[in-house]
C-alpha cells in the first residue's frame, strides 16, 4: 500500500530554521521515499509501513535533538506525488 503525507513542523523556539532543515534533510536520506519541499510544508510519498516508521523515528529524533515542536500532518492513501499523477 502507498501513502502520501504532508508535514509541517513548527519548533517552539526562536532558532527554528535549523531544526526544520535537519528534519527535511533526514527524510531525504531515505532513497525509497519521494520528498517534495516547499515554503509551507514537506510532502512525502512511499510505502505505507516504511513511511510511518520513518516519520515515527524522525519525529523522535527532532524532539531529542531540538526540543519541543509541533508537527501537523495530513495522511491520504495512495501515491499523490506529481510524477505518479502524470502516469
Question: Could you tell me the pLDDT band of residue 84, with boundaries at 50, 70 and 90?
Answer: low
Q: Where are the domains of the chain?
A: 2-79
Q: What is the pLDDT of residue 86?
A: 54
Give the C-alpha separation, 86 to 57, whole Å: 31
Residue 52 has pLDDT above 70, yes or no: yes
Give the C-alpha separation, 2 to 32, whole Å: 12
Q: What is the pLDDT of residues 61-82, one digit of tens each?
A: 999 999 999 999 999 999 999 9
Class of domain 2-79: alpha beta
pTM, two decimal places: 0.91
Adjacency order of strands within the sheet including 42-47: 34-37, 42-47, 2-11, 69-77
Amino acid at each position: 500500500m502507498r501513502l502520501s503525507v504532508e508535514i509541517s513542523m513548527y519548533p517552539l523556539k526562536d532558532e527554528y530554521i535549523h531544526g526544520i532543515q535537519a528534519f527535511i534533510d533526514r527524510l531525504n536520506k531515505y532513497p525509497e521515499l519521494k520528498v517534495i519541499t516547499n515554503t509551507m510544508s514537506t510532502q512525502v510519498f512511499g510505502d505505507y509501513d516504511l513511511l510511518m516508521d520513518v516519520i515515527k523515528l524522525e519525529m523522535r529524533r527532532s524532539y531529542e535533538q531540538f526540543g519541543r515542536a509541533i508537527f501537523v500532518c495530513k495522511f491520504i492513501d495512495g501515491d499523490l506525488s506529481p510524477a505518479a499523477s502524470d502516469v
